[in-house]
Structure 1
Amino acid sequence: MGDFSVLVLFGLLGLLLVSAGIEDVRIREIADWKNGAIALLAPLFWLAIGLPLWPGMALQLALGIGVFALFAVAFHFGMMGGGDVKMLGALALWLPFDVLMFVLIVMSLLGGAITLAMLIEGKLRRCKNAPEIPYGVAIALAGLMVLGEPILNQFPR
């Protein structure tokens, strides 16, 4: 597999992220099939970039499982939805550790901004219930940010 395959896989991942973010805004859920597709496309990406089975693929798999487990704790305490946790775990399969850390930081900042905006809107509307935050939007935007970076940023490092 070559560069074209990587671009196609990035395109599919981008479409899945956008679709999941829109779905989360509209119905506050992310379909399992979308998260499953993100996860199942990751091994094809690994093959396309020539990632070795050991330790490369093994580390990516461990990273995905670790992220899923960490955010499952947040789900347990009612801080995130199940679809968000699955989406993060699936996305982690695609990203090297340093890029994943960047995505988590950006996701946290965006998620905080979305939460703040929804809290302000709720106060202005005098809503008594706590808002249900579509955290999938923050995850999708952070993921899209790093997907576009290698395409848009052509400056040498």
Structure 2
Amino acid sequence: MAGALQIICVAVLFALLVYVIYSDVTRRIIPNTVNIAVALLAIPFWLGSGEALWPLVGWQVLLAVGVFAVFAGIFALGAMGGGDVKLLTALALWLPAIPYLRMLVIMSIIGGVLTLAYLVWHRRRKKEGEPEVPYGCAICLATFIALGEPIVKQFAG
């Protein structure tokens, strides 16, 4: 069962992610300060888990390094923004590997729908060039689902 510290951390994380959605939609920026806060907030989340910090922290950091390496490559190809890469890396500190992979699948589905919606909207407005998709929205919504599902199950059953 999640402790009070973990619940508070998740609530603060969700508030930060709501801000990320707002910032990404309105300015196409995910501030570094928010990404740093998301990463640092994982520390009290781990402490509140009641699990031994080793190897928990080691696995989470290893996952985050791997996520950064993969998504930095995607950034280098111009397919994703730097703020998105940093946010995905910070969020890798929150979820174990399998739930994180589930979050990435959910993110991809939401991101695909979002991209299609922006493409249609962009074409209807007859704008030139490619639409800029605020992919941070897909990342945040997928995180809400991935972190929220266990919480709902805990209180429902």
Deviation readout 1:94-146 (Å, 9 max, x if unpaired): 00111101100000111111111111111212211101110000000000112
Q: Secondary structure at the match of 1:46?
A: helix
Provide the TM-score with structure 1 as the length reference.
Answer: 0.93
CA distance in 2, matches of 1:53, 1:15: 26
Instruction: Return the letter of the residue paired with 1:23.
Output: S
Asked if structure 2 preserves the Cα contact closer than 8 Å seen for 1:23 and 1:29, the reply is: yes
Aligned mates of 1:61, 1:50 — CA distance in 2: 18
Q: Structure 2 length as normaliser, TM-score?
A: 0.93
Give the SS at the match of 1:30: coil
Q: Which has the higher contact order (CA 8 A, sep 6+)?
A: 1
For 1:21-60, what aligned pairs fall within 5 Å after superposition?
21-60=21-60
State how far apart, in whole Å, the 2-side matches of 1:31 and 1:123 are. Answer: 29
1:30–1:84: 8 Å Cα contact kept in structure 2?
Answer: yes
- Please state how far the C-alpha of 1:54 moved relative to its aligned partner: 2.5
State the alpha-carbon separation in 2 of the partners of residues 43 and 96 from structure 1. 14
**Structure 1 letter corresponding to 2:3:** D
Match of 2:20 in 1: 20
Contact 1:14 1:147 in 2 (8 A): no
Conservation of the 8 A alpha-carbon contact between 1:75 and 1:82: yes
- Alignment coverage as a number of residue pairs: 155
1:71 partner amino acid: F
- Residues 105-116 of structure 1: pairs in structure 2 closer than 5 A: 105-116=105-116
- Equivalence for 1:96: 96
**Contact 1:111 1:135 (8 Å CA) reproduced:** yes
Q: What percent of counterpart residues are identical?
A: 46
Distance in 2 separating the partners of 1:51 and 1:84: 29
Deviation at 1:47? 1.1
> Do the aligned partners of residues 51 and 68 (structure 1) sit closer, same or farther apart at CA in structure 2, a change above 3 Å counting?
farther
Unaligned runs of 5+ in 2: none
AA in 2 matched with 1:145: I
How many Å separate the matches in 2 of 1:22 and 1:87?
Answer: 14
Q: How far apart, in 2, do the equivalents of 1:150 and 1:110 lie?
A: 20
> Which ranges of structure 1 fall in alignment gaps of 5 or more residues?
none
Task: Determine the C-alpha separation between the residues in 2 that align with 1:7 and 1:54.
Answer: 21
What is the alpha-carbon distance in structure 2 between the residues aligned to residue 133 and residue 122 of structure 1?
A: 10
Please show how residues 1-157 of structure 1 align to structure 2 within 5 Å. Answer: 3-154=3-154
Amino acid at match of 2:140: A
Q: Distance in 2 between matches of 1:30 and 1:140?
A: 11
- How much does 1:93 deviate? 0.4
